[in-house]
């Protein structure tokens, strides 16, 4: 079969493309913006990428068009598909029909931490020899790809939730997004996945372009809860009151809670303040100690959730816990790009004030009194609509200086945010001006963090290259 994927450079759709290629399909695709790391992965797979949504980009011999949720009615490619009566589907529906049947699905949901937790879980299952398939919303450093079909598990492994020996189905770990599926299917993507094990990491208001309030998001999470079988497992952040409200709507699956409270089923005790070392307990019994390269309490919770999910499919957490010492995470999750002229440069996929705050808090705990300089692009739909404007300045409290990329399409006045930032702050109109501002600001010993969920016009690597070429910090 030949597929054309509209929106192929998105992290989810790029993963769908990789899986389709592994299944033996011919794959091509188009997107409005094509940038690393997904563009690099697709090119390495030999998938033809076309810039823009020109209907002529869809070859005549394409059997099915897979349409990403970034496209809507009025898009020229979408209109051409509908007018021609071509076969089309969504990425989530394609995954549910072509990949997930016959597999034991582990889904990772939450406002924050989905990508990192999905990656940790796949990594731990790989360390256990379970050869999981996965679809991650980013490129996992330890796998080098965002998606793969995986292999078959140990034929005598326990089935999820049963505790009994039985021929095990292959495992598939999927990042379970609450964003809508497509212009023709407004349900959350995750309702398509029918997981046996579901991690519910956290729940906050986000995606202001499609959800009117947090209650609407809770309803979608409850739709997910409804699909998890009684033999399965729900792994739930015990600190999150909104998730508690979701479960109160009705729950038919055993629940295990995780967090820092020793009363939870899975708990962590901090050893290092920056989150780089912690002790794991299961129902009060020590499992082991983790020492790893990730930072922050949020990542401690991500690891706890992943360990609990491993246990749910018969993997002894004590056996795989030491592997976390070599875990390398995901590209663009406080990714260390390099050091030059005494300046350390990071690239971080930032989309929500809570994620920004926890990421910077972890870095602050590690670097102590060293200066943290943030280059911020408010790019997500919720950011652009101003839904997080009030919370944005407090989320940057750990930074000493902030430069906002204030593009013309930003719908709200950034001056109030700039005035409310605790440290030094300013706005710039484009990426070139941002790089100039950072060149003036950066000093020997600084940690410069680029925060955006988009391509940022290549600014992080351009800044590092400038330092390497001899542009000394101030």
Q: Provide mean pLDDT across the span 239-263.
A: 97
Please identify, among 271, 294, 326, the residue that sits at the C-terminal boundary of a domain.
326
Q: Quick one: 260 and 366 in the same domain?
A: no
Three-class SS state of 140: strand
Report the number of distinct structural domains present in the chain: 3
Identify whether 398 is part of a domain.
yes
Identify whether 95 is part of a domain.
no
Per-residue pLDDT reduced to its tens digit, 364-374? 988 899 999 99
Identify whether 232 is part of a domain.
yes
- Average pLDDT score, the chain: 88
- Range picked from 26-40, 131-145, 297-311, 414-428 for highest mean pLDDT: 297-311
Identify whether 473 is part of a domain.
no
Q: Quick one: 266 and 227 in the same domain?
A: yes
For the chain, helix, strand, coil in percent to 5 are 35, 25, 40
Distance CA(125)–CA(145), nearest Å, equals 16
Q: Quick one: 255 and 310 in the same domain?
A: yes
Confidence of residue 382 (pLDDT cuts 50, 70, 90): very low
Q: Quick one: 10 and 120 in the same domain?
A: no
Per-residue pLDDT reduced to its tens digit, 101-146? 999 999 999 988 889 999 999 999 999 999 999 999 888 888 988 9
Please identify, among 37, 62, 90, the residue that sits at the C-terminal boundary of a domain.
90
Q: Quick one: 322 and 368 in the same domain?
A: no
CATH number of domain containing 362: 3.90.190.20
Q: Quick one: 115 and 264 in the same domain?
A: yes
Identify whether 194 is part of a domain.
yes
Identify whether 213 is part of a domain.
yes
Backbone angles phi, psi at 89, to 5 degrees: -155, 175
Contact assessment for residue 215 and residue 155, using Cβ atoms and an 8 Å cutoff:
no
Q: Quick one: 176 and 296 in the same domain?
A: yes
At residue 156, the pLDDT reads 47
CATH number of domain containing 266: 3.40.1190.10
Q: Quick one: 258 and 378 in the same domain?
A: no
| pTM for the full predicted model | 0.78
Identify whether 138 is part of a domain.
yes
Radius of gyration of the chain (CA): 22
Backbone angles phi, psi at 320, to 5 degrees: -105, -15
Identify whether 131 is part of a domain.
yes
Per-residue pLDDT reduced to its tens digit, 318-355? 999 999 999 987 767 778 888 998 999 988 887 678 78
Confidence of residue 413 (pLDDT cuts 50, 70, 90): low
Q: Quick one: 276 and 380 in the same domain?
A: no
Three-class SS state of 17: helix
Distance CA(191)–CA(107), nearest Å, equals 10
Per-residue pLDDT reduced to its tens digit, 147-200? 999 985 444 444 555 444 445 799 999 999 988 999 999 999 999 999 999 999
Distance CA(259)–CA(302), nearest Å, equals 9
User: Which domain does 152 fall in, by range?
Assistant: 100-326
CATH number of domain containing 39: 3.40.50.720
Q: Quick one: 131 and 257 in the same domain?
A: yes
Q: Quick one: 412 and 302 in the same domain?
A: no
Which residues, including other chains, have CB under 8 Å from residue 368's CB and lie 6 or more apart?
Answer: none
Q: Quick one: 168 and 69 in the same domain?
A: no
Please identify, among 90, 116, 131, the residue that sits at the C-terminal boundary of a domain.
90
């Amino acid at each position: 079969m030949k597929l054309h994927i509209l929106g192929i450079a998105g992290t989810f759709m790029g993963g769908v493309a990789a899986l389709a290629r592994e299944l033996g399909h011919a794959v091509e695709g188009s997107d409005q913006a094509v940038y690393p790391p997904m563009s690099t992965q697709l090119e390495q797979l030999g998938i033809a990428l076309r810039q823009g949504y020109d209907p002529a980009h869809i070859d005549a011999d394409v059997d099915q068009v897979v349409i990403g949720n970034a496209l809507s009615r009025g898009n020229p490619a979408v209109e051409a598909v509908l007018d021609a009566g071509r076969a089309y589907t969504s990425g989530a529906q394609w995954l549910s029909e072509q990949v997930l049947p016959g597999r034991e699905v582990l889904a990772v949901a939450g406002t924050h931490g989905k990508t990192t937790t999905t990656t940790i879980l796949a990594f731990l299952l790989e360390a256990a020899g379970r050869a999981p398939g996965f679809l991650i919303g980013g490129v996992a450093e330890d796998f080098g790809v965002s998606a793969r079909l995986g292999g078959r598990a140990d034929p005598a492994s326990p089935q999820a939730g049963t505790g009994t020996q039985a021929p095990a189905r292959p495992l598939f770990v999927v990042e379970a997004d609450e964003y809508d599926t497509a212009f023709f299917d407004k349900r959350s993507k995750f309702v398509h996945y029918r997981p046996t094990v579901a991690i519910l990491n956290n729940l906050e208001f986000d995606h202001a372009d499609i959800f009117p309030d947090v209650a609407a998001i809770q309803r979608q999470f409850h739709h997910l809860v409804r699909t998890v079988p009684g033999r399965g497992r729900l792994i739930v952040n015990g600190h999150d009151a909104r998730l508690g409200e979701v479960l109160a709507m009705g729950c038919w699956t055993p629940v295990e809670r995780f967090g820092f409270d020793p009363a939870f089923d899975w708990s962590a005790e901090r050893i290092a303040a920056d989150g780089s070392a912690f002790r794991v307990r299961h129902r009060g019994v020590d499992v082991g100690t983790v020492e790893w390269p990730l930072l922050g309490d949020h990542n401690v919770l991500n690891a706890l959730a992943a360990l609990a999910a491993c246990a749910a499919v018969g993997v002894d957490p004590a056996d795989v816990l030491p592997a976390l010492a070599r875990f390398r995470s995901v590209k663009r999750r406080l990714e260390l790009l390099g050091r030059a002229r005494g300046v350390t440069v990071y690239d971080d996929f930032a989309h929500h004030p809570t994620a920004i705050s926890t990421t910077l808090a972890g870095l602050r705990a590690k670097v102590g009194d060293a200066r943290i300089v943030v280059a911020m692009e408010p790019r997500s739909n919720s950011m652009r609509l101003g839904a997080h404007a009030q919370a944005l300045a407090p989320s940057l409290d750990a930074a000493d200086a902030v430069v906002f990329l204030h593009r013309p399409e930003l719908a709200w006045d950034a001056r109030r945010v700039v005035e409310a930032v605790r440290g030094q702050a300013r706005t710039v109109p484009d990426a070139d001006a941002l790089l100039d501002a950072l060149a003036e600001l950066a000093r020997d010993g600084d940690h410069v963090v680029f925060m955006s969920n988009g391509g940022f016009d290549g600014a992080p690597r351009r800044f590092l290259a400038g330092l390497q070429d001899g542009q000394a910090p101030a």
